[in-house]
């Protein structure tokens, strides 16, 4: 893997977990330029976002399994159903809490929103001019960003 083209900026970005979504737009420009020119930091940013999304997916899957276990226990009604149901509900609550913590502490949701905006911008750019002109001005501004 390549090295960072500007180690000082790379260390700053590493300390922020390669998240610049909370910065003011005028401060963000320099870091975006760095990401454009530095394959190392771009790779690290993608790696961190993939880890964040994987944690959210894993917590979601865990919550779904605990909820399914609760439903199965409720349906089958075994001897110690109360304690099993309680354990399933506690597991679900813990998974939901972990999901919420990851979603709040990481920029993964913002990365998903940014990816959706990028996809919308690509679709918008491919539309014929007559259809693009029909779009409301505020929607066009949100899609294009200008």
In a domain, 135, yes or no: yes
Q: Which residues contact 98 (CB under 8 A, 6 or more apart)?
A: 55, 59, 62
In a domain, 71, yes or no: no
Cα separation, 22 vs 32, whole angstroms: 13
In a domain, 120, yes or no: yes
State how many domains the chain has: 1
In a domain, 33, yes or no: no
In a domain, 121, yes or no: yes
The parent domain of residue 134 ranges over 107-146
Q: Which residues contact 136 (CB under 8 A, 6 or more apart)?
A: none
pTM of the shown model: 0.69
3-class DSSP state for residue 80? coil
**C-beta of residue 99 within 8 angstroms of C-beta of residue 52:** no
What is the pLDDT, as a whole number, of residue 105?
A: 83
In a domain, 126, yes or no: yes
In a domain, 118, yes or no: yes
Residuewise pLDDT in 10s, the chain (146 residues) = 678 888 888 888 887 778 787 777 778 888 888 888 999 998 998 898 889 889 999 999 999 999 999 999 999 999 889 999 999 999 999 999 999 998 888 876 676 777 777 788 888 888 888 888 888 888 877 777 76
């Amino acid at each position: 893997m390549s090295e960072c083209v500007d180690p000082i900026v790379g260390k700053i970005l590493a300390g922020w977990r390669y998240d610049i979504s909370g910065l003011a737009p005028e401060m963000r420009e320099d870091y975006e330029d760095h990401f454009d020119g530095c394959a190392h930091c771009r790779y690290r940013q993608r790696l961190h976002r993939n880890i964040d999304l994987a944690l959210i997916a894993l917590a979601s899957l865990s919550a779904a399994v605990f909820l399914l276990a609760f439903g199965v226990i409720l349906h089958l009604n075994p001897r110690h159903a109360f304690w099993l149901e309680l354990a399933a509900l506690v597991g679900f609550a813990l998974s939901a809490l972990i999901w919420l913590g990851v979603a709040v502490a990481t920029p993964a949701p913002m990365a998903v929103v940014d990816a959706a905006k990028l996809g919308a911008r690509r679709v918008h750019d491919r539309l014929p001019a007559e259809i693009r002109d029909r779009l409301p001005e505020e929607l066009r501004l949100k899609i294009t960003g200008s």
